[in-house]
Protein backbone atom coordinates (compact mmCIF):
# COMPACT_ATOMS: atom_id res chain seq x y z
CA UNK A 1 0.00 0.00 0.00
CA UNK A 2 1.16 3.52 -0.63
CA UNK A 3 2.35 5.68 2.23
CA UNK A 4 3.78 9.16 2.65
CA UNK A 5 5.82 10.15 5.67
CA UNK A 6 6.57 13.69 6.71
CA UNK A 7 8.65 13.25 9.81
CA UNK A 8 8.85 16.94 10.68
CA UNK A 9 5.69 17.96 12.50
CA UNK A 10 6.60 21.59 12.94
CA UNK A 11 9.50 23.79 11.86
CA UNK A 12 10.15 27.32 13.06
CA UNK A 13 12.50 29.65 11.22
CA UNK A 14 13.26 33.32 11.11
CA UNK A 15 12.54 35.25 7.97
CA UNK A 16 15.20 34.93 5.23
CA UNK A 17 16.36 31.56 6.45
CA UNK A 18 16.28 28.63 4.04
CA UNK A 19 14.18 25.67 5.10
CA UNK A 20 13.77 22.14 3.76
CA UNK A 21 10.66 20.06 4.29
CA UNK A 22 11.21 16.33 4.05
CA UNK A 23 8.97 13.79 2.37
CA UNK A 24 9.55 10.05 2.11
CA UNK A 25 7.16 7.80 0.26
CA UNK A 26 6.42 4.11 -0.24
CA UNK A 27 4.75 2.54 -3.24
CA UNK A 28 4.76 -0.74 -5.11
CA UNK A 29 4.06 0.90 -8.46
CA UNK A 30 6.86 1.80 -10.84
CA UNK A 31 4.79 4.67 -12.19
CA UNK A 32 3.53 7.15 -9.65
CA UNK A 33 3.10 10.87 -9.10
CA UNK A 34 4.21 13.07 -6.26
CA UNK A 35 2.71 16.38 -5.20
CA UNK A 36 3.16 19.18 -2.74
CA UNK A 37 0.23 21.22 -1.47
CA UNK A 38 0.21 24.26 0.79
CA UNK A 39 -2.50 24.88 3.38
CA UNK A 40 -2.33 28.46 4.67
CA UNK A 41 -4.15 29.48 7.88
CA UNK A 42 -7.26 30.25 5.81
CA UNK A 43 -7.60 26.49 5.26
CA UNK A 44 -7.68 25.94 1.53
CA UNK A 45 -5.34 23.51 -0.21
CA UNK A 46 -3.12 25.11 -2.83
CA UNK A 47 -1.37 22.98 -5.42
CA UNK A 48 2.37 23.65 -5.69
CA UNK A 49 3.96 20.96 -7.84
CA UNK A 50 3.43 17.58 -9.50
CA UNK A 51 6.26 15.25 -10.45
CA UNK A 52 6.07 11.85 -12.15
CA UNK A 53 8.31 8.97 -11.20
CA UNK A 54 10.26 9.05 -14.45
CA UNK A 55 11.36 12.64 -14.10
CA UNK A 56 14.09 12.98 -11.51
CA UNK A 57 15.17 16.43 -12.55
CA UNK A 58 15.12 18.91 -9.75
CA UNK A 59 12.80 21.82 -10.22
CA UNK A 60 13.05 25.44 -9.20
CA UNK A 61 10.23 27.93 -9.17
CA UNK A 62 11.21 31.25 -7.71
CA UNK A 63 12.13 30.68 -4.07
CA UNK A 64 10.79 27.12 -4.17
CA UNK A 65 12.80 24.09 -5.23
CA UNK A 66 12.16 20.39 -5.14
CA UNK A 67 14.65 17.54 -4.93
CA UNK A 68 13.31 14.17 -6.12
CA UNK A 69 15.53 11.18 -5.38
CA UNK A 70 14.16 7.79 -6.35
CA UNK A 71 17.06 5.97 -4.73
CA UNK A 72 15.95 7.19 -1.30
CA UNK A 73 12.22 7.50 -2.13
CA UNK A 74 12.30 11.14 -1.17
CA UNK A 75 10.75 14.28 -2.58
CA UNK A 76 12.00 17.18 -0.48
CA UNK A 77 10.90 20.77 -0.73
CA UNK A 78 13.13 23.76 -0.04
CA UNK A 79 12.07 27.34 0.47
CA UNK A 80 14.90 29.80 0.02
CA UNK A 81 14.86 33.11 1.89
CA UNK A 82 11.64 32.27 3.71
CA UNK A 83 9.00 34.94 4.27
CA UNK A 84 6.25 35.30 6.84
CA UNK A 85 3.68 34.56 4.11
CA UNK A 86 5.23 31.11 3.74
CA UNK A 87 3.79 30.17 7.12
CA UNK A 88 1.43 27.29 6.43
CA UNK A 89 1.06 23.54 6.65
CA UNK A 90 2.72 21.80 3.74
CA UNK A 91 1.51 18.40 2.58
CA UNK A 92 3.34 15.93 0.43
CA UNK A 93 1.09 13.49 -1.47
CA UNK A 94 1.34 10.48 -3.75
CA UNK A 95 -0.87 8.86 -6.33
CA UNK A 96 -0.22 5.57 -8.05
CA UNK A 97 -0.77 5.01 -11.73
CA UNK A 98 -3.13 2.15 -11.05
CA UNK A 99 -5.65 4.34 -9.26
CA UNK A 100 -8.04 7.08 -10.25
CA UNK A 101 -5.67 9.78 -9.10
CA UNK A 102 -6.64 9.47 -5.49
CA UNK A 103 -4.09 11.21 -3.33
CA UNK A 104 -2.47 9.74 -0.27
CA UNK A 105 -1.31 12.60 1.90
CA UNK A 106 1.39 12.79 4.53
CA UNK A 107 0.53 14.24 7.92
CA UNK A 108 1.89 17.62 6.93
CA UNK A 109 4.62 19.88 8.24
CA UNK A 110 3.63 23.14 9.86
CA UNK A 111 6.10 25.88 8.92
CA UNK A 112 6.19 28.98 11.09
CA UNK A 113 8.21 31.88 9.75
CA UNK A 114 8.70 34.69 12.20
CA UNK A 115 9.83 38.21 11.32
| Residue 76, beta-bridge partner list | 67
Q: Binding mask 43-72 vs another protein (x if CB under 8 A, - otherwise)? A: xxxxx--x-x--------------------
Binding of another protein by 29 (CB under 8 A): no
> Does residue 75 touch another protein according to CB under 8 A?
no
- Cα→Cα distances 17→9, 54, 109, Å: 18, 31, 17
Q: Please, what is the minimum distance in Å from the beta carbon of residue 59 to another protein?
A: 14
Radius of gyration in angstroms for the set of CA atoms belonging to the chain, rounded to a whole number: 14
Q: Is 2 among the residues that bind another protein (CB under 8 A)? A: no
Burial of 112 (0-12, 13-18, 19+ CB in 10 A): middle
Quick one: CA dihedral 40, 85, 109, 47, positive or negative? positive
Interaction of residue 91 with another protein, rule CB under 8 A: yes
103 near another protein, rule: CB under 8 A: yes
Binding region for another protein (CB under 8 A):
33, 35, 37, 42-47, 50, 52, 91, 93, 95, 97, 99-108
Amino acid sequence: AQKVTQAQTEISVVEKEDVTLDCVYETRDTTYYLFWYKQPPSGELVFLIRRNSFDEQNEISGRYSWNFQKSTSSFNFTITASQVVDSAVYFCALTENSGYSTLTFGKGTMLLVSP
